[in-house]
Amino acid sequence: DIQMTQSPSSVSASVGDRVTIACRASQDIDNWLAWYQQKSGKAPKLLIYAASRLEGGAPSRFSGSGSGTDFTLTITSLQPEDFATYYCQQASSFPRTFGQGTKVEIK
Amino acid sequence: EVQLVESGGGLIQPGGSLRLSCAASGFSVSSSYMSWVRQAPGKGLEWVSIMYSDGSTYYANSVKARFTISRDNSKNTLHLQMNSLRAEDTALYYCATSQEGPYFFDYWGQGTLVTVSS
């Protein structure tokens, strides 16, 4: 199974800050990576797919980059509605696996 | 509008069985890639199973031989039959669809809670 490791596990930031979350795959997954946002008590929501493609309806302040084993989710100018937990997910092989999550908290 | 509504969760004793359902609207389950993803209380996301549009199925190792994914095309509904349930199967079970290939989950339901406890 491909293991996905996110860092950090949590980050405290202020509105307007730039936030970067890393995700590392245990083997090469090319660009078969997605990012999801999950707010408390809600279902996850797809933000980024194929490593860098913005899902329709997702704000342009979210961007993704990377290929192979190392990926990054960047939120430029953090907004109040962005405080949530973020997960990466690989789609290179079965079983599909998620990172452990990164909680973005208010500083 | 795509909508997914899960049902069938509840409290079940270890070793018991439960069948979850996911009623879909706004698209056809028979022509989509449909998955179950679960989340244990306070924990992260765990993919459980997927059914392809051609009927192929895949499972997480943790549920293989115990869980079965299926669909009812006439009711546009996805199911998850869960047998030999264990305490570690306790989770919120989400139904999710992947509209363009079996890769990323672009629509999710709100989940149904399964609690395995004596």
d(CA B67, CA B59): 8
B108: which chain A residues are within 8 Å (Cβ-Cβ)? 43-45
The reply to whether B42 touches chain A by the CB within 8 Å rule is no
Size of interface A-B (CB pairs under 8 A): 56
Query: Quick check: A34 and B103 CB within 8 A?
Result: yes
B60: which chain A residues are within 8 Å (Cβ-Cβ)? 95
Query: Quick check: A95 and B61 CB within 8 A?
Result: yes
Each residue's pLDDT tens digit, B49-73 = 999 999 999 999 999 999 999 999 9
Per-residue pLDDT, B33: 96
Query: Quick check: B50 and A96 CB within 8 A?
Result: yes
pLDDT at A24 over 90: yes
The reply to whether B58 touches chain A by the CB within 8 Å rule is yes
Gyration radius from chain A CA atoms = 13
Closest CB from A34, A91, A95 relative to B60: A95
CA B70 from centre of chain: 9
pLDDT at B35 over 90: yes
Q: DSSP letter string over B31-73?
A: GSEEEEEEE-TTS-EEEEEEE-TTS-EEE-TTTTTTEEEEEEG
Query: Quick check: A55 and B106 CB within 8 A?
Result: yes
| Of A85-94, B47-56, B95-104, minimum mean pLDDT range | B95-104
Each residue's pLDDT tens digit, A42-86 = 999 999 999 999 999 999 999 999 999 999 999 999 999 999 999
> pLDDT-derived band of residue B100, with 50, 70 and 90 as boundaries?
confident
